[in-house]
């Protein structure tokens, strides 16, 4: 047949590109339905080959059933069908291509037959194939549509479709309760869309769910390539003006409400997974409840599992509930409590025997060809690795299991493996934390093993500490875990506890709002003007003490003032979607010229650590990481890491992946950092804390711009291509998967994996593509190199900013650390004694830098240790697991940092004894030095505060707008000098409980009269009603400490000469500080706006500007005096009366 045709058609060769190109000119021209070069065009030629083969085979098998002539003239209606069968008759499409045009005489080239062109046979062959191809494509697409509709129809919720729409029309709040698999999350929004609702928002507790739901629903609503359905999460959005249905996180919706209380942009709000009771969700419900009253047109739908439905319904004045059955296959529950001799004692590792027995039991009972994987729920990472180890031994032996761990600290690539498919005859054994209970859904699970335990974060307000503790799960969680076995077929659930245990479990898990610190929540409530948090109607109010703790903490942080109102910095912090301490760093950093490093550090501290735990025991990784380490603290290590990564990105682009792998870094976290960093930058800019983006001079000439534009186009195309092929790519696991993982103990390049990764490397690195689309690499590089070349001065200033941000999260090294092993170094925070440094911190491997150098001091008593090098640790988190651990620490010089950031500094009369926050005691040897350092600190702080307020646009001075660079320069210079060059020996220790009780002298009957406060104009220096002494500034109280020298501070008058002016007279410490605060070196006086004129004037005139009217009761006279003079005057009377 083939040879026949070849003879007929001269030199025609179907496989030759030239010949095909000639046909392309007939069928796939620029204006045809399918154009040459398009995807369909490629698909056509592939189809063509198959079609030709099919035809040849058919023809070879003989003329088939051609005897269909026996027309049955049964006298019925004649359908008028052609006599001879031809498959072409089954196609309902016709195409008008060049050949038809020529035949119809449309083309001018008619008759100009090319001698070497395709003959009529070829053209008709190709034409036939094209028609079949079009028909085939139609069938394919229609098949997809039909399947989709079938699946939708089969969902349990489908029959409630009209009822749901009707309820939403009738009532402002509707509760839809349905268990796993009923289809509520994907279908309810579609029902509403189809019913004509237009602006629908659907919240999800997890970002990943927003993305996957948006994808699924846009596919199901046949809008896969449009933007009718979109999502919006922290860094990404696919929302456009035509978006009608938006999936977003709970936190993001709250932020939107913060900006627009009416929430006019939405017609319907769906809050999904309300039963999970996340902090944000509980709060969101509370806010929406009050919003509904103001906005009667708004519709609210709560979607929940069938857990505690009445609670939600009642909260919204008995909203109607629609309950939908779930779709689960039957699951057999087997209680297998752990026998007493296999019960783990507190200190021991988990005994793997009960778990192994189940694996063996499955091997015996179920033939390997019956597929079905196993999912184990354990409480934590340590437990997982214990059981993983034991199971792997069994798996290596039987070769019937692939053991895979699953928890959030694994690299994403490792997490992703649980979705891969095991080879025939082998089951996956996935050992997971409760992450697989709700967040991660794995299909194909048939067996579930439930340990009944969970590790949950709780907050200890007394110790100001987070705690990760193991608990029994609730009955609701237990059911949820069980349900994971019945998603794709009947399953079995093994419970490693007794039925009586189950009955004793709490019905529901403790909602998050009862477990965590409420700082951010309270701050957000304040900024939304929701009134007193204590009287806010929560669905399940948190304990009042917990709210109180948060309010106190926010006051300490300076976010709330003494009347619990938002401060200007507080209202800014409320806008930032980060922890209060991180937000503070950002605001502080924007003031000084340290924006770039602060942005990076703030971003780094807000995401999970990029350093993979598993790589810590790999010597190669440790060596490769070494240059990134900074012994100043973990934030500096993170900063170095980020900068080095940006550097690599700039030079090698996609090569960064390998660079990260070599160092045991999870690159995903770095991508998160760079995104977050950018978001922070935009936030600061939108709040006027950063100068608006300079119209980049680097935009270059037109040629360059065009180049960049084409590159971006290409990148966008790559991203789209990736998104299209993304979904259906599940790899088949290899049997050795688990073994390698375990024997190498890490996910770094093992011989086998390296190869696989190389293969992956040939694919597009989608993260790299997104990175390039989102960020300007050269701009980032610039910023990175700025912070890489940081001088030690800038570094110490950055430390101070971090410390002020983190305050009061400070820890003091124990006195005896120098005699302890590296791993046993002990620290104390104000509220918790005896904490240790997390092994991932740089200070865990290098604790010496925290110790006071030997021989630095004179006397060394057991009680008192003098040095000028005491240091403190500022830390980001204090988390108790098996021990209380500090993580993300920075070391700071103790005295300087405390004086510059602490909320409460109290002194004795000659200021040689300072107590900070009623916790730390500093004793300074030389009164002269003590005074000097204190007054310098006071002056610096005053200036810093003033500039900060000015920066926040709330300057109480009202004198100037914004902050001049010169003034800033001077302040940072002063701060740096203070930090680096204060050489004072002092001792540093914690106060005992007894000492704290008798710390203050308390109010005394004979008080010095209130007087003006030259240090901080506007703040009255007045006797402190509780501590006694004189409250000089908001944070400094003079002479309130009860010690031997307290009674007659007047006696402490010593002669002193002012370095700036000619003053030489006996002054008390306070008087001296006051003078110092007002007397500036001659050169500086002109700039200082507190001193209006007479800049060069001598002492007297400079003092005179500080005078005020003072009424002396004894003289009964109004006197114009400076504060110092007032004191002197009063003393005269005192002496005379004695």
Partner 1 sequence: MEQTSEPRQKTFTCQLCGLSSPFTYYGQKPPNTRAIVLLEECFVTQDPFSPDKEKFLVLGSTCSMCSLCVCVGSDCSLFYTKRFCMQCVNKHLEQFPNQIQAELAKKKQSSKAAVS
Where on the chain is the footprint of partner 1 (CB under 8 A)?
A: 31-33, 38, 40, 65, 68, 71-72, 74, 76-82, 85, 89-97, 134, 137-139, 141-142, 144-146, 149, 153, 169, 195-198, 222-225, 267, 720, 724
721 or 1084: CB nearest partner 1: 721
149 or 705: CB nearest partner 1: 149
Task: Return all residues near 445 (Cβ < 8 A) that are at least 6 apart.
Answer: 372, 373, 374, 375, 430, 484, 485, 487, 488, 491
- Rg for the chain, CA atoms, rounded: 38
DSSP 196-219: T---EEEEESSHHHHHHHHHHHHH
Question: Least distance to partner 1 from the beta carbon of 93, Å?
Answer: 6
144 or 310: CB nearest partner 1: 144
Query: Token match 């924007």: residue?
Result: 590
Tokens of 453: 């335990």
**Count of beta carbons in the 10 Å neighbourhood of residue 1043:** 15
Helix (H) or strand (E) holding 938: helix 927-951
Nearest to 771 by CA among 932, 884, 657, 684: 657
> CA neighbours within 13 Å on the CB side: how many for 956?
12
Tokens of 567: 């401060």
Helix (H) or strand (E) holding 59: helix 39-60
Nearest to 974 by CA among 858, 1045, 1080, 890: 1080
66 or 821: CB nearest partner 1: 66
Is 391 in a helix, a strand, or coil?
helix
Question: Least distance to partner 1 from the beta carbon of 194, Å?
Answer: 9
197 or 355: CB nearest partner 1: 197
Question: Least distance to partner 1 from the beta carbon of 521, Å?
Answer: 35
Distance set, CA 670 to CA 54, 413, 621, 696 (Å): 53, 15, 17, 25
Question: Least distance to partner 1 from the beta carbon of 782, Å?
Answer: 37
Nearest to 1038 by CA among 924, 905, 880, 868: 905
DSSP 121-189: HHHHHHHHHHHHHHHHHHHHHHHHHHHHHHHHHHSGGGGGHHHHHHHHHH-SEEEEEE-TTS-HHHHHH
223 or 571: CB nearest partner 1: 223
40 or 460: CB nearest partner 1: 40
Question: Least distance to partner 1 from the beta carbon of 311, Å?
Answer: 30
Question: Least distance to partner 1 from the beta carbon of 138, Å?
Answer: 6
223 or 781: CB nearest partner 1: 223
CA 56-62-66 angle, 5° bins: 115
Distance set, CA 828 to CA 265, 294, 857, 865, 1040 (Å): 50, 50, 23, 17, 25
149 or 652: CB nearest partner 1: 149
CA distance 938 to 1032: 10
Question: Least distance to partner 1 from the beta carbon of 303, Å?
Answer: 20
Question: Least distance to partner 1 from the beta carbon of 94, Å?
Answer: 5
Q: Which residues pair with 456 in a beta bridge?
A: 469
Question: Least distance to partner 1 from the beta carbon of 198, Å?
Answer: 5
* Contact predicate 473/313, CB 8 Å: no
72 or 259: CB nearest partner 1: 72
Tokens of 607: 């995401």
218 or 388: CB nearest partner 1: 218
Question: Least distance to partner 1 from the beta carbon of 260, Å?
Answer: 19
150 or 346: CB nearest partner 1: 150
Q: For the stretch 714-725, what's the b/e string if a residue is b when 16 or more beta carbons lie within 10 angstroms of its beta carbon?
A: ebeebbeeeeee
Question: Least distance to partner 1 from the beta carbon of 562, Å?
Answer: 49
146 or 504: CB nearest partner 1: 146
SS3 annotation, 1101-1137? HHHHCCCEEEEECCCCEEEEECHHHHHHHHHHHHHHH
- The pair phi, psi for residue 1057, each rounded to 5°, is -115, 130
Distance set, CA 1050 to CA 9, 386, 633, 689, 854 (Å): 120, 69, 44, 46, 39
82 or 855: CB nearest partner 1: 82
Strand runs labelled E in 451-551? 453-460, 465-472, 491-495
226 or 1094: CB nearest partner 1: 226
Question: Least distance to partner 1 from the beta carbon of 79, Å?
Answer: 5
CA distance 176 to 187: 12
CA distance 490 to 543: 43
Question: Least distance to partner 1 from the beta carbon of 409, Å?
Answer: 38
Question: Least distance to partner 1 from the beta carbon of 6, Å?
Answer: 30
CA distance 928 to 910: 9
Question: Least distance to partner 1 from the beta carbon of 487, Å?
Answer: 23
196 or 330: CB nearest partner 1: 196
Nearest to 914 by CA among 895, 900, 901, 897: 895
Question: Least distance to partner 1 from the beta carbon of 377, Å?
Answer: 37
Tell me how far the alpha carbon of residue 358 is from its chain's centroid: 38
Tokens of 1072: 């001296």
Question: Least distance to partner 1 from the beta carbon of 85, Å?
Answer: 4
144 or 712: CB nearest partner 1: 144
Question: Least distance to partner 1 from the beta carbon of 222, Å?
Answer: 4
80 or 367: CB nearest partner 1: 80
Distance set, CA 893 to CA 832, 851, 863, 873, 1081 (Å): 21, 11, 20, 9, 27
In what order do the strands lie in the sheet containing 321-324?
A: 229-232, 245-249, 200-204, 268-271, 299-304, 173-178, 321-324
């Amino acid at each position: 047949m083939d040879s026949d045709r070849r003879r007929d058609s001269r030199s025609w060769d179907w496989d030759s590109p030239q010949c095909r190109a000639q046909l392309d000119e007939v069928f796939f021209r620029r204006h045809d339905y399918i154009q040459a070069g398009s995807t369909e065009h490629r698909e056509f030629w592939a189809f063509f080959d198959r079609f030709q083969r099919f035809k040849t085979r058919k023809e070879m098998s003989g003329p088939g059933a051609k005897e269909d002539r026996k027309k049955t003239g049964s006298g019925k209606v004649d359908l008028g069908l052609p006599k001879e069968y031809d498959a072409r008759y089954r196609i309902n499409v016709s195409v008008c291509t060049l050949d038809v045009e020529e035949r119809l005489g449309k083309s001018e080239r008619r008759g100009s037959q090319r001698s070497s062109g395709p003959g009529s046979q070829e053209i008709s062959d190709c034409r036939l194939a094209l028609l079949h191809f079009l028909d085939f494509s139609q069938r394919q697409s229609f098949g997809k549509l039909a399947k989709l509709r079938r699946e939708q129809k089969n969902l349990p919720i489908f029959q409630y479709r009209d009822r749901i729409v009707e309820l939403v029309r009738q009532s402002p709040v509707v509760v839809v309760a349905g268990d796993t698999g009923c289809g509520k999350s994907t279908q309810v929004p579609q029902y509403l869309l189809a019913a004509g609702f237009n602006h629908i928002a659907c919240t999800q507790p997890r970002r990943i769910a927003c993305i996957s739901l948006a994808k699924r629903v846009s596919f199901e609503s046949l809008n896969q390539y449009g933007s009718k359905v979109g999502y919006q999460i922290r860094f990404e959005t696919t929302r456009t003006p035509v978006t009608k249905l938006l999936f977003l996180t709970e936190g993001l919706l709250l932020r939107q409400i913060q900006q627009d209380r009416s929430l006019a942009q939405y017609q319907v709000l769906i809050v999904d997974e309300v039963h999970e009771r996340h902090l944000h969700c509980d709060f969101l419900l509370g806010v929406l409840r009050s919003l509904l009253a103001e906005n009667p047109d708004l519709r609210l739908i709560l979607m929940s599992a069938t857990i505690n439905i009445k609670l939600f319904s009642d909260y919204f004045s008995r909203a109607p509930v629609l309950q939908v059955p779930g779709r689960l296959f039957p699951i057999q529950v087997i209680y297998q409590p752990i026998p007493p001799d296999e019960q783990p004692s507190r200190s021991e590792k988990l005994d793997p025997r009960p778990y192994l027995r189940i694996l063996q039991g499955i091997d015996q009972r179920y033939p390997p060809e019956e597929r079905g994987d196993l999912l184990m729920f354990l409480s934590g990472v340590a437990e997982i690795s214990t059981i993983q180890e034991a199971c792997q031994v069994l798996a290596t032996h039987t070769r019937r299991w692939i053991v895979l761990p699953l928890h959030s600290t694994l690299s994403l690539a490792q997490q992703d493996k649980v979705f891969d498919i095991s080879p025939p005859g082998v089951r996956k054994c996935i050992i997971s934390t409760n992450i697989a209970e709700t967040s991660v859904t794995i299909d194909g699970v048939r067996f579930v093993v439930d340990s009944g335990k969970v590790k949950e974060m709780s907050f200890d307000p007394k110790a100001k500490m987070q705690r990760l503790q193991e608990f029994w799960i609730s009955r609701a969680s237990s059911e949820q875990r069980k349900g994971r076995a019945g998603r794709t077929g009947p399953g079995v659930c093994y419970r490693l506890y007794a039925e009586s245990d189950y009955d004793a479990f709490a019905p529901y898990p403790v909602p998050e709002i009862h477990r965590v610190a409420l700082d951010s929540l309270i701050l957000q409530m304040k900024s939304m003007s929701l009134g007193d948090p204590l009287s806010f109607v929560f669905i399940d109010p948190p304990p009042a003490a917990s709210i109180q703790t948060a309010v106190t903490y926010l006051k300490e942080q300076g976010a709330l003032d003494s009347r619990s109102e938002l401060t200007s910095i507080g209202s800014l912090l409320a806008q930032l979607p980060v922890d209060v301490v991180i937000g503070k760093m950002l605001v502080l950093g924007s003031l000084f010229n340290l924006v770039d490093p602060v942005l990076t550090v703030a971003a780094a501290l807000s995401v999970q650590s990029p350093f993979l735990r598993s790589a810590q025991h790999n010597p190669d990784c440790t060596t490769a990481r070494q240059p990134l380490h900074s012994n100043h603290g973990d934030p500096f290590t993170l900063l170095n890491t980020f900068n080095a990564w940006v550097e690599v990105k700039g030079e090698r682009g996609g090569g960064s992946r390998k660079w990260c792998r070599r160092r045991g870094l999870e690159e995903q976290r770095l991508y998160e950092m760079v995104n977050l960093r950018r978001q922070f930058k935009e936030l600061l800019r939108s709040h006027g804390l950063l100068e608006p983006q300079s119209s980049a001079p680097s935009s270059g000439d037109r040629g360059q711009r065009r180049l960049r534009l084409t590159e971006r186009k290409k990148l966008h195309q790559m991203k789209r291509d990736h998104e299209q092929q993304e979904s259906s790519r599940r790899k088949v696991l290899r049997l050795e998967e688990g073994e390698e993982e375990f024997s190498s103990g890490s996910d770094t390049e093992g011989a086998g994996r390296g190869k696989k990764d190389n293969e992956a490397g040939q694919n597009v690195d989608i993260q790299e593509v997104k990175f390039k689309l989102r960020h300007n690499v050269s701009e980032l590089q610039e910023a990175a190199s700025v912070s890489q070349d940081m001088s030690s001065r800038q570094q110490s200033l950055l430390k101070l900013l971090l410390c002020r941000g983190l305050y009061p999260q400070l820890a003091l090294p124990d006195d005896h650390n120098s005699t302890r092993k590296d791993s046993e170094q002990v620290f104390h925070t104000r509220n918790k004694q005896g904490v240790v440094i997390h092994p991932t911190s740089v200070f865990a491997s290098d604790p010496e830098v925290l110790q006071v150098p030997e021989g630095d001091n004179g006397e060394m008593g057991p009680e008192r240790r003098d040095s000028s090098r005491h240091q403190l640790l500022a830390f980001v988190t204090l988390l108790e697991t098996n021990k209380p651990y500090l993580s993300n620490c920075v070391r700071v010089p103790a005295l300087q940092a405390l004086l510059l950031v602490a909320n409460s500094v109290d002194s004795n009369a000659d200021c040689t004894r300072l107590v900070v926050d009623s916790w730390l005691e500093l004793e300074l040897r030389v009164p002269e030095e003590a005074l000097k350092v204190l007054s310098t600190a006071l002056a610096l702080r005053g200036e810093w505060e003033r500039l900060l307020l000015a920066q926040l646009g709330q300057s109480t001075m009202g004198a100037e707008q914004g902050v001049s660079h010169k003034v800033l320069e001077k302040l940072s210079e002063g701060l740096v000098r203070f930090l680096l060059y204060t050489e004072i020996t002092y001792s540093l220790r914690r106060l005992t409980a007894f000492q704290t009780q008798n710390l203050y002298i308390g109010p005394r009957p004979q008080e010095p009269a209130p007087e003006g406060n030259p240090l901080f104009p506007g703040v009255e220096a007045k006797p402190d009603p509780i501590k006694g002494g004189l409250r000089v500034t908001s944070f400094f109280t003079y002479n309130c400490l009860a010690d031997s020298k307290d009674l007659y501070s007047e006696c402490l008058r010593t002669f002193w000469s002012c370095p700036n002016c000619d003053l030489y007279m006996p002054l008390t410490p306070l008087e001296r500080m006051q003078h110092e605060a007002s007397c500036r070196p001659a050169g500086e006086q002109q700039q200082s706006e507190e001193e209006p004129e007479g800049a060069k004037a001598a002492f007297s005139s400079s003092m005179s500007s500080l005078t005020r009217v003072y009424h002396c009761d004894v003289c009964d006279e109004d006197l114009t005096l400076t504060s110092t003079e007032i004191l002197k005057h009063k003393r005269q009377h005192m002496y005379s009366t004695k």
